[in-house]
Amino acid sequence: MSLLLLAPIAGLVSLVFAAAFAVYTLRQESGSTKMNAISAAIQEGASAYLNRQYKTVAIVASIIAVILFVALSHGDGGFLDSGRIAIGFLAGAVCSAAAGYIGMFVSTRANVRVAQAASSGVRKALAIAFRGGAVTGLAVVGLALLGTSCFYILYGGDSHAVDLVIGYGFGASLISLFARVGGGIYTKAADVGADLVGKVEAGIPEDDPRNAGVIADNVGDNVGDCAGMGADLFETYVVTAIAAMLIGGLIINGIKKIIEPGKIITIYSEDIFPQISGKLALIEYPLILGAVAIFTSIIAIFAVRMGKQENIMRTLYKGVITATVLSIILFYPVTVALIGADLAGISIFISAIVGIVIMALMVIVTEYYTQMHSPVKSIADASKTGAGTNLITGLAVGMMSTGWPVIIICSGILVAYFVPSLATGESIA
């Protein structure tokens, strides 16, 4: 069996586990009649918002698909290739919308169940909350990898097919823009409006359901932070996967290199990676790594179990560490099988590991600036002297918090670029 088939298989497995976790979440006790009434109002508002938004986006997407079909038909591939790109565009939009809708659907139903479970302790509440969140995560990566790999295979499974799959990523980007930006505007408008009317004008406590604006605020949280983030992450996953495949396709088709004035040679993937398993290995490599990462992530989900100390962050770190270690272990045989075990192949493996390390470091940095560490404590201390110092300190900490992520990401990019370049003697990273 070709290793490429792992990609669609992993996508399907991810969707199966997403469905299983959704069933698990929905089977939990949903609490009192009042809790369900409030939850139902949030569900109704979130569904109404997304249905209205997606109807509008569907019209825009259809018009763009027709434009793509007509405009790109003048290329070498004619109407056949333009039709494939247009179909991929619509499929990307539909899958991105589905990823967002799944996130909203589960979040608006998991919230009341988590609240009910919290009445009996944090252990059960964390289990429901984490598995409810895992539904969105697995649905996003499952739809993304399944769609990208299937379109690549259906369109011929070669370097030309990668050019056609770009339409899938473009469709995902369209929905991401509407969902993330539109949902974010709705979220913040409802949040500020609810606070002004409730706390300032009516004297009602924050997040009190007697204030209708609070329901709108919670609707905004779900359509912006759940549906919007789901569509946004879907787009990010698809676009980065296709970008990596495009780089592989460029290397396969040959890199022009000037060796002396007036003399240009073409270097192919076999020249750079002597032990490469096949001509298309560089294109398929990102998809197969994505498949492996899905399997390790599913295992990591089950590793998230709270210990006796009931420390939530320590429990979540179990999942991060499990996924990180398993991915590093399994990425190596995949790299050796596709790229080779020589210095050139190992350099690509190192680049993949750099990405994993960056992810782990970003989790640590985020936790440091948002949990009970000195940055948060400094903001709390500044509040003692008034709102002005609180605002200034919070703004300063927020600006400082961007420093380490920039350093980490830039360092990772440099390492991922120079290690393969030094190992192969070519600037191919």
- Which run of H or of E encompasses 267? strand 263-267
Dihedral (CA of 140, 145, 146, 152) sign: positive
The model's confidence at residue 100, banded by pLDDT at 50, 70 and 90, is confident
Task: Give φ, ψ of 267 to 5 degrees.
Answer: -110, 130
The model's confidence at residue 255, banded by pLDDT at 50, 70 and 90, is low
The closest alpha carbon to 416, from 353, 345, 328, 336, belongs to 353
Q: State how far the Cα of 22 lies from the Cα of 17, in Å rounded to an integer.
A: 8
- Phi and psi based region of residue 107 (left: phi greater than 0; alpha: psi -120 to 50; beta: remaining): alpha
pTM of the model: 0.88
Specify whether the CB–CB gap between 417 and 429 falls below 8 A. yes
Q: State how far the Cα of 39 lies from the Cα of 168, in Å rounded to an integer.
A: 35
- Listed by start position, the domains of the chain span 3-274
Cα three-residue angle 282-287-288, rounded to 5 degrees: 90
**Beta strands 255-260 and 263-267, pairing class:** antiparallel
Query: What was the pLDDT predicted at 163?
Result: 85
- Percentage of residues in the chain with pLDDT exceeding 70? 93
Inter-CA distances, 147 with 153, 254, 307, Å: 10, 27, 38
Calculate mean pLDDT across residues 75-82.
Answer: 80
Q: State how far the Cα of 292 lies from the Cα of 172, in Å rounded to an integer.
A: 23
Q: State how far the Cα of 106 lies from the Cα of 133, in Å rounded to an integer.
A: 8
Token representation of residue 93: 């939009």
The model's confidence at residue 400, banded by pLDDT at 50, 70 and 90, is very high
Give the bridge partners for 333, in sequence order. none
- Structure confidence by residue, pLDDT tens digits, 8-43: 999 999 999 999 999 999 999 888 888 888 888 888
Q: Is 259 helix (H, G, I), strand (E, B) or coil?
A: strand
- Structure confidence by residue, pLDDT tens digits, 198-232: 766 767 777 777 777 778 778 887 887 788 888 88
The closest alpha carbon to 405, from 370, 367, 365, belongs to 365
262-271, 272-281, 292-301, 361-370: least confidently modelled range: 262-271
Q: Looking at the chain, how many residues does it have?
A: 429
